[in-house]
Amino acid sequence: MKPSSSPSDPGVGAGQGGADPGGTARRGGLFDGVLARGGVRSQVDDHAWLQAMLDAEAALARAQARVGLMSEAGAARVTAACRAANFDVAALGRDAAAAGNPVVPLVRALTAAVGADVPVHHGATSQDILDTAAMLVAHRALGPILDDLTGAAEAAARHAEEHRDTPMAGRTLLQHAVPITFGLTAAGWLTGLDTAARRLAELRATRLAAQLGGAAGTLATLGEHGPAVAAAFAAELGLAEPALPWHTERGRIAELAGALGTAAGAVAKPARDVTLLAQTEIAEVREGGADDRGGSSTLPHKRNPIAAVSALAAAAQAPGLVATLLAAGPHEHQRAAGAWHAEWLPLRELLGAVGSASSWLRDCLEHLAVDPDRMRSNLELTGGLLLAERVSAALAPALGRLAAHDLVREAAADHRPFADALRARPALAGFDIDKLLDPAGYLGSAGTFVDRALAAHRAVS
């Protein structure tokens, strides 16, 4: 059983003492158009977290009904009441200050809604509900993240296949190195995205676990029924059942953070390449999409690669958030004093950042226009200098590797065109200089590597 999506919001009007049921976080923010793009935003806002907490409370009630600790009718009453629109997020947030977490006021409000005769929250502690909610939020947010990573990978695969043999300048340390193909560049994007998506999917399926341990991880309140309730609780939610409560064993959070950080890096790589390749002086790619995208407030001629820029901006937030979550890893004794609380916002922001970055990159690659003619022009920019390695390799059998390297370096430093400088050197008499300086003849195994990347992608897609 997979975790279900949060119930649909029936709208405003069923609130408990507030004018903004569901929470103000659902409204658009000033920077959301750039930094909160895609489907993740609604899966990690206050409404989503509140609904996940309520889903945990409802699942706990149903789990206890399964083992006879609560009536079916009581569990049904709890489930019916567990709708985020019935509660005031702002009030819960204010009241959380008294207890140090929002679960305590939520349980009071839920009990008032259900009736004191139904044992709401029986056997659980606040961390059980909030940790389980975090796993539900992560599971739901990973849905659109994986969808966008997959979409971006598909776009990269199309570019790799279409431009398998399109030569371009390979660049190392931002300088021309040797010829490669644009297909190889796109294949590199593809493998990074596929690897990141595969890890997140695996983690989503196996490592997002329910949390139920009671005050100190023993479920003593539930007596002999504790393990059975915990198993039923996980089953109701569609989350993994852990071997034991993980209140202070935060490996799952660390794994999630690490995988999201890796995904951010996999997104940032092609986004960075696009911004570089789209520079006016290079102009080998450009972003498509809406006609009005990429404009400047002062320069009428500008068409900036906004999707790539925005993907980079969102992805750049990930490392710091990952670091915060890892730093919060050591939890003392059976329940932490502060480290647990430190996880809440960074986890939400990390999911949102990676979600936005993935959405922007998908848009970028799906609308990316590639200019093979400009790539060829840039290959010829240095008059064949980026074939210097090939010439040196051709000379090495006769002169030795170092002597050949030095001779070609001297020719490259000559003030004449490189081809003329090579022809002037007796050691190169008899060589077809034009052939040696043809970029299309020195692509190595680029095509084979593209084929491998595409085959691996198709095997798992």
Active-site residue list: 296, 335
E strand or H helix that includes residue 167: strand 167-172
Four-residue CA torsion sign, 84, 86, 89, 95: negative
CA distance readout (Å), 8 to 36, 48, 111, 158, 274: 21, 11, 22, 36, 39
Alpha carbon distance 6, 426 (integer Å): 77
Q: Is-contact 244 274, C-beta < 8 A?
A: no
Please state, as a whole number, how many other Cβ atoms lie within 10 Å of the Cβ of residue 431. 15
Q: Is 120 exposed, middle or buried (0-12, 13-18, 19+ CB in 10 A)?
A: buried
Q: 10 Å Cβ neighbour count for 338?
A: 10
Which CA distances in Å does 240 have to 158, 196, 217, 386, 444? 36, 21, 17, 54, 47
3-state DSSP assignment of residue 177: strand
Helices 46-66 and 226-237 meet at what angle, rounded to 10? 130
* Count of CB atoms situated within 10 Å of the CB of 373: 8
Q: Which residues does 140 contact at the CB level (< 8 Å), separation at least 6?
A: 3, 5, 6, 43, 48, 52
Residue 346 · residue 317 · CB < 8 Å = no
In this structure, what token pair is assigned to residue 424?
A: 């002037």
Specify the amino acid at residue 40.
Answer: V
φ/ψ (deg, to 5) at 370: -110, 140
Segment (H or E) for 5: none
Q: Could you tell me the two tokens for 202?
A: 């695996």
Nearest to 25 by CA among 359, 349, 356, 354: 349
- Does an H or E element contain 117, and which? none
Q: Report yes or no: 246 and 166 within 8 Å, Cβ to Cβ.
A: no
